[in-house]
Every structure is written in C-alpha cells, then in structure tokens.
Amino acid sequence: MVIKVLNGPNLNFLGIREPNIYGKKTYADLLRAVRAECKKRGIRVSVVQTNEEGKLVTEIQKCYGKADGIVINPAAYTHTSVAILDAIKAVGIPTVEVHLSDVSKREDFRQISYIRQAVELTITGKGIDGYLEAIAYLDGKYGKGKTK
C-alpha cells in the first residue's frame, strides 16, 4: 500500500506558529510520527509540505495511478481552493482531510472546506494523532486492516 501525506502553507512552522492553537510539536515531530505509523503498518509513504497551492494540485495529480490513498491538510487553502477540490475529484483516490485544530470552533471563514465534498473522512482537533487516525482509516479500508 502506498499513501501520500500532503501539508499546505505554514505547517512547516508547527511548534513555532500559534502554539496555543497548534501545539508545541514541530513539523519534524509530525514527520516522525507519520513515518513510524506507516512503517508499523507496512505502508509506503511520501510526505510533502508546500506553501504553494499549485504545488498541492501537482502533488495530487502525481498520485494518479500510484497512490492508494491521500491524507491532506491543505491548511488555509482548505477554505479557498476550488483547484484542490477539483484535483482530488480528478484523481479519484480515497482521501482523508486532516486539521490539527478544531476548525469548527474557530472563525467563520474557517467553516467552509471546499474539499470536504470530495473526501471520505474529515478529522479535526486531534493534533498529530489526527494524521495517524487518517492512516489507520486508509489502511483499514484498502490495506491489511490492522487495527490498533
């Protein structure tokens, strides 16, 4: 099983940016946790962070015919990007939307997720553990289905 984990703008600043909202764990901690979870499950994973919307679209397109699942935190582009929604629809790969914070309890402009209609599952407010849950969901659906 192959999955891609995609992270949008400012997520490379985890641990530095607004720790009261996003916590003190760093992007390196996120990478470590995701890689360890995938290793445990025998999943091949590639993790990408970019501040650019177009790069996220390109990375989603690159999954076509190659990845069995996508985990994506589009960060601020969640609330603005039709292009990312279209890319997820275009590739037709099972996708899980993850947000570190509980966006439902935040500003009005964060209440819209353009990608939500194209994803199978949305996980919010669980910090880095949300990524691990997303991986477990995809593994349970298409992989060996090892449960914790």
Question: Which residues are the active-site residues?
Answer: 22, 99
Among residues 1, 99, 135, 138, the one that binds ligand DQA under rule CB under 6 A:
99
Alpha-carbon span 39 to 24, nearest angstrom:
24
Q: Degrees (nearest 5) of the Cα angle 96, 99, 103?
A: 125
135 counts as binding ligand DQA under rule CB under 6 A:
no
Query: Which positions from 49 through 88 interact with ligand DQA, judged by CB under 6 A?
Result: 73, 75-76, 78
| Residue placing its CB nearer to ligand DQA in the complex, 12 or 142 | 12
Q: Residue holding tokens 């289905």?
A: 145
Q: 6 with 78: CB under 8 angstroms? A: no
> In this complex, which beta carbon is closest to ligand DQA, that of residue 38 or of residue 100?
100
Tell me the closest approach of the beta carbon of residue 107 to ligand DQA, in angstroms.
8
Q: How far is the CB of 146 from ligand DQA (least distance, A)?
A: 26
Q: How far is the CB of 40 from ligand DQA (least distance, A)?
A: 23
- Could you tell me the smallest distance in angstroms from the CB atom of residue 84 to ligand DQA? 12
* Nearer residue to ligand DQA within complex by CB, 49 or 101: 101
54-62 own/partner pairs: CB under 8 Å, 24+ apart: 54/83, 56/6, 56/8, 56/81, 56/84, 56/87, 57/83, 57/84, 57/86, 57/87, 59/4, 59/6, 60/6, 60/84, 60/87, 60/88, 60/90, 60/91, 61/87, 61/90, 61/91, 62/4
Binding footprint of ligand DQA, residue count (CB under 6 A): 10
Chain residues binding ligand DQA by CB under 6 A are 10, 73, 75-76, 78, 99-101, 103, 110
